[in-house]
Structure 1
């Protein structure tokens, strides 16, 4: 299984194992029935993060893992935080439009004051973003 995983997680897509190769790998071969229509599958080429450099992508992945770990620990020890976040999202005015990726959150240190964060860029600001 680890051999398959390493071959699928290669950063360079030209060196990465194809779907067909993965399905024929000994780890998955017993689950795969080869059909004649495999050639009709379209190749997927577009990802939102393709324009990022390798270091930016590594930083983004690191931030996502840290944020997920941080939030899951907070919610584990303080279940009320999950309810609070859900309420904040429900209370957000529907007419307020934010650019893609931006989220409005209430400050934990200044009650009633909101800030805006963009997880992908790793940016937070008190000023409402316009783009």
Structure 2
């Protein structure tokens, strides 16, 4: 038996007053966080490549530039450390969003199963009422049967 909202999650969410469908929002958050993680990871890799290149040509750099180069390495290392911390925080956030998403999907599936089961029970009750009506000629007390 098909229910009216089985194919339309937005209609199902709208059918329950005060309840929002969180899954699209959580999926969008997960995509945004994954994009930020990629951006930070690309920056980390780019800085590492730059460090490698500078280190490779360090012997060709005049001694007068070494203090500035040392300051640059110190500053870039602080930024690198901050980027690693940001990436870790983003990954923790992503795990939390993915856990919320899994919970929301499980809750939605449970609600769908409950709707299906309730429809089956209602159908069985209707059959019982029909049998009582056929046997007695009148509907059971409190019945919705005509």
TM-score range, shorter chain: under 0.3
Structure with more helix by fraction = 2
In the superposition, the TM-score normalised over structure 2's length comes to 0.25
Task: Using CA pairs under 8 Å that are at least 6 residues apart, name the structure with larger relative contact order, 1 or 2.
Answer: 2
Structure with more strand by fraction = 1
In the superposition, the TM-score normalised over structure 1's length comes to 0.28
